[in-house]
Each structure stands twice: as structure tokens, then as C-alpha cells.
Amino acid sequence: MIHCGANNKTAEQIADVIGRGKDGKEILQYYSEFVKRHKLQDVGSGTKYRSLVDEESVKVNIAIKIFESQSISLLPEYQNLIKDKFDSQSQKVNFADKVAAATEINYFIRNATNGMIKSVITPDEINQNTDIALINAIHFTGIWEQPFEDRQKKIFYSNPEREIDMMKIFIEAEADWNLTYMENEWHALGIPYKSRKAWLYIILPTKKDGLNELIKKFDYEQFKNVTTRDESNKLNVTIPVIETEASLDLAENLKKLGIIDVFKDNCDLSKMLQGSNKINKAVHKAAIKIDEKGTEASAATVTYQFARSAPGFFVADHPFLYMITSTENSVSTSPKDILFMGTFC
């Protein structure tokens, strides 16, 4: 949405990162379709979000809203665009009253994420230069196709080692989970949610300390290798119970990717509002919970096969990369979107 309001070099820098060679219309269409794949619902107090619901077994909720100060006004053309393309709206807020403004924004995010993320901003993070707060939240709930067994304490080989809750399951060949690996580099397991319209993928480095190397090499080709459908046969699976919340300074990270001007005085948001403005702060916050019943979450070239005879083992007992993907339908074999991606260390 910032890209839609940006112009000239500011827009070009954003497009280079999020578009990878696509023009402005193509970028807008892609992200608009991503949002519109989800059904419009109401979560109370006039707050609206979109939800992809399949028999209440998988839900993906996206909430987008712009909070603007009393002293500025978004251009009518921009307001019409974000309403049409993202079903988003703006709301006036008095940033001079820091506590009230933070309370209003956090109330919106708390509702949109079903209470998983309780706050994204504190009164101390609001100052006299705050004119706009653009809030984007995504919330995922998924029930496993086959629930895991009760948790047990086991050693997780991080640095330092620690004892954590792990859960396990034995699956028959008919379960048809997704198991791939790249020799001497990683093993990956795709675990389906009920309805098979969403999957959790765990990419486990072969080396216990190999996560950083895996992340450096992980690109689109690796992603395709991980998600290529390959039957799992009989399999003993042990993975951690995951419950974590993380906050990321987007400004610092986006600057490293080349999005610089939007945080400087020469920022050009002339398609969004009049006058000179810049983004003062950008924060991404995500929360995820993966347990026996399912998941609740708020943000090389060759694949080899396993032998098909004796039961195998997939034991995620050291740091790994994971992601939650969605598909177009229950029989689709290719992910449509990456909804969440993170590491467990």
C-alpha cells in the first residue's frame, strides 16, 4: 500500500524489492489478488478483515488499516484505490493523545489477530512527527489433518542445548505427507492441515548448526524443491511445540534491501498525500503457536526420494526453517502463497 502512494525514486526502490522486474500495475494486481482471495467478514466495531475459511479447519485473516492524524488528509484518489484493491480504509486519530492513539491502534490489531498479538505500538513510540500509522496484520488458524500425540520433554540441540516440549506421531503410507531432501544439506517435511488447503513445511538442516548456511542458500529453486510433492511412506515424526512472538524493525531491514528514500526527508509519497512526509517507523510483529491440535499464527536443483520400505524418521531436534503455505484447493500440489516463514532455534 505504501508503494501505491509512492512516486518517482521512492516507488522505484520499493518496486525493485517487492516486484522483481514487474511494473507498478503488475505489482498492484498481484497483491490485490492476494487479499481478495479471502472472504470479507466483520470482527466488530466496524473493523473488517478478509478470511479464507474451509469448513472451519483453516482460516487466514488479513486486516489492513491506515490511521491518519487530524492535521492531514489522504488524497481521494488514494483512498479510492486502497478501498477498491485492498478493501482497506483510513481512520482519523488524535496522535497528540498518545495513550488514546496507541489504545485505538492496538485494539484493532488485537481483534484482527484473535488476541494473539495484543499490541504493536506503545505511547512512547508516538511523537509530534507521527502523521500516519499503516497497520497490516495476518492471522492463521489451522487444524491438523492428523493430530499429534501428547507432548513430551526432549533435548533440543540449540546453543546451548535445552529441554523443550516435543510432540510425535506415526503416519502410515496412506497418509501421503510430503517428504523431500537434498543430500548432505537438508530434509523437509510437509504436514497437511485438515482440508489440505494449507501445509506446514519444516526444513531441517543436515548439520545441527547448519541453519545459517541453509538460510543463505534458500531461494525460489530451493523452495520448489522443498514443496515438490513426494510421498512420505511410513514415518515416525517428532517436532517441537512452537509458541513464540517476535518483533522486527522493518526500517533497518528494508534499508539493507535497498528501500531507503521512504525513510528519508526526500521521500515521495505524493500519490498518497500532499506535502512532504516520510515513514518514521516500520515494525513487523508476528506470533505463532503450533501444538498437538494444529497451528495458530498471526506474520540445489535436484530433489531425492526416500526408500519406500521400512518406516523412516523425521526428528526436528535442532534449529530449522519453517513456513506455512496455502494452495488454491485441496487437490493442488503447488503452494499459492507463503503465509508465514520463520526459524525455530
Q: pTM for this structure? A: 0.80
pLDDT 10s digits, 160-170:
999 999 999 99
| Residue 317: pLDDT band with limits 50, 70, 90 | very high
- pLDDT tens for each residue of 95-117: 889 999 999 988 988 888 888 88
> If you average pLDDT over residues 79-88, what whole number do you get?
88
> Residue 150: its pLDDT value, please?
79
* DSSP calls for 108-142: HHHHHTTTS---S--GGG--TT--EEEEEEEEEEE
Is the per-residue pLDDT at 153 higher than 60? yes
What is the pLDDT averaged over residues 210-234?
Answer: 88
Band of pLDDT at residue 66, cut at 50, 70 and 90: confident
| Chain segment 20-37, per-residue pLDDT in tens | 878 889 999 988 888 777
Q: Which CATH architecture does the domain made up of 2-142+244-289 adopt?
A: 2-Layer Sandwich (3.30)
Which among 306, 287, 307, 309 is positioned nearest to 298, based on CA atoms? Answer: 287
The Cα–Cα gap between 210 and 230 comes to 24
pLDDT class for 276, splitting at 50, 70, 90? low
Q: Does domain 144-241+291-344 have CATH number 2.30.39.10?
A: yes
Q: Who has greater pLDDT, 295 or 225? A: 225
- Which pLDDT value is given to residue 41? 39
Residue 52: strand, helix, or coil: strand
* pLDDT: which is higher, 114 or 318: 318
Average pLDDT score over the chain: 82
Name the least confident of 83-87, 121-125, 247-251. Answer: 247-251
Across the range 309-327, mean pLDDT stands at 83
Contact indicator for 156, 162 with CB cutoff of 8 Å:
yes
Beta-carbon neighbour count of residue 32 at 10 Å?
A: 17
Cell matching residue 18: 517487492
Indicate where the chain has its CATH 2.30.39.10 domain(s).
Answer: 144-241+291-344
The boundaries of every CATH 3.30.497.10 domain in the chain are 2-142+244-289
Least confident segment among 87-96, 147-156, 210-219, 270-279: 270-279
Say whether pLDDT at 218 is over 50: yes
